[in-house]
Amino acid sequence: METYFEPMQEQMLKKTGKKLHNFGTRARPVGKFVAVIFLILCLLIPLSFIEGQIYSRSSNQDSVTAEIASTAASRQTVIGPVLAVHYRTRIPEKQYFDAELRRIIIKQAVINDHIAYLPARNLATRGAARVERRYRGIYQALLFHLDAKVEGAFEAPADMLKVPDGSEFVDASAAILFSVSDPRGLDSDPDVLVDGKAMRFKATTNKMFEEIMGGSRLEIALGEWKLGQTRSIAFSFPLKLTGTEALSFAPTAENNVVELSSDWLHPSFGGRFLPRKHNIGDKGFNAQWEVSQLARNLDRALQGGSREGTEIMGIRFIDPVNVYLQAERAVKYGSLFIVLTFAAFFIGEFLRRRPMHIMQYALVGLALAIFFLLLIALSEHLPFATAYLAGASACIGLVVIYLAGAFDSWRTALGFGAGLSVLYGMLFGILQMEDRALLMGSLLLFAALAAAMFSTRRLDWYQLKQNEAPTEISGE
């Protein structure tokens, strides 16, 4: 080995007058590899702290959403209208002779209460929803304002009221029931047209009706109901409703139609029933649901959103620029960033015969980690894309300047900077393609592995611990 490097050392001393040391003084490949792996594991600690900070800020965002919902209106589920009839039956007084007691026993009459409810034959809700942002400091929540019209009809059959055997009918009263999750969101007290007559909703006073449906029940009293009567009742009313983030409808009728439009560009359709038709464009969306009685369970639909497993067709107005969600997804790729960068350093170190100290690895790794902290801090005040560009540019510039001094070569530093720029660009693309994130991440890893294998395909790893290369350490 001395015969190979001695002439080079003498030649370099004559040209530069600087002392050189042998490349063999660095760690061997296996030892260096173990040290780099250990350093990667150590850098997961600051990444976990940054991820915890993101969770904390996201929790603050959720608290603000809950606060705004508590002062305005929460998520809304609309149930009904449903026709409900409260009727009473009586078991008449009876007298019979008890042979054992040898006397006449009188059994008093008993009054029993019953509830019969009837879904609308047809129920249509058509309207538009406007979405606005409400702010608390740097945090925000989405409120919707629904302006719709509800119309339908009940077709009451003659046998709607069932009188048990041995009982007799006493009396009955009917009401149209309607429910929303949070009545604070009702923006007006509308006139309800019932068979052409204007009426008003009021809070339910009949406790028997409280068992029928979830939410906050409102009613329109229809008065006395006669046994065995057949009746058709048409109704319509405007519905102006405010809520936070999500709006749902329970399909309580035999035939349910809901048609909604909005200027919001990012709806998320959920519940048990998805829209039969929907269109999302540059100016918003429109959607149409159609649900028949054959597809829904009435008892669960009447409970609305008050328990799990209920029947609803709903929509959430989601925020695609939720910076905390995007930052959380970004930081999950932090370890991949560090691994790929260190892999490039490790391979380049042996290909170029230019050693890097483990502290140089550590400082570059910390620069990569702090990018994610900059990202969440900047994105709270700037658009996410702008914050991403600013944070990435700052970190790439820092790494390039540092490597230029460490390698004494701007060309090498700019080469690594170009590679980092490509890496950051690919991560941003992955963040924008949520549905294809796994595919893009897998392709990125495959490309990195292919690049590593291609660049080292002719490298003789057995000779690395035997060969030495000179490295400048000081000047005379």
CA distance 182 to 186: 8
H or E segment to which residue 103 belongs: strand 103-107
CA distance 236 to 118: 17
Q: What is the pLDDT of residue 238?
A: 94
Question: For 219-271, what is each residue's pLDDT tens digit?
Answer: 898 989 988 888 999 999 999 999 988 899 999 999 999 999 998 988 889 88
Closest by Cα among 328, 351, 308 to 455: 351
Question: For 31-54, what is each residue's pLDDT tens digit?
Answer: 777 887 888 788 878 888 877 777
Task: Name the pTM for this structure.
Answer: 0.66
Q: What is the pLDDT of residue 18?
A: 44
163 touches 227 (CB < 8 A): yes
The residues spanned by each domain of the chain are 20-60+324-468, 72-320
In 310-436, alpha helices (H): 323-331, 334-351, 358-379, 384-407, 410-432
Full pLDDT tens readout for the chain, 476 residues: 444 444 444 444 444 444 444 433 344 666 777 887 888 788 878 888 877 777 777 777 777 777 776 677 888 999 989 999 999 998 887 766 666 766 766 677 788 888 888 999 999 999 999 998 877 766 777 889 999 999 999 999 988 898 888 888 889 999 999 988 888 888 888 889 998 899 988 888 777 776 677 667 888 989 899 888 889 999 999 999 999 888 999 999 999 999 999 989 888 898 889 899 999 988 889 999 999 988 888 888 887 655 544 678 889 888 765 677 777 777 777 777 777 777 777 776 766 666 778 888 888 888 888 888 888 888 777 888 888 889 889 988 998 888 888 777 888 888 888 888 888 887 787 777 665 666 776 777 777 777 767 766 776 666 655 554 444 444 43
CA distance 161 to 168: 12
For residue 180, what are the β-bridge partners?
78, 216
Q: What is the pLDDT of residue 255?
A: 94
DSSP classification of residue 93: P
Half-sphere exposure (Cβ direction) of 289: Cα atoms closer than 13 Å: 30
Q: What is the pLDDT of residue 411?
A: 84
Take residue 312 and report the two structure tokens written for it. Answer: 């609803």
Q: What is the pLDDT of residue 25?
A: 38
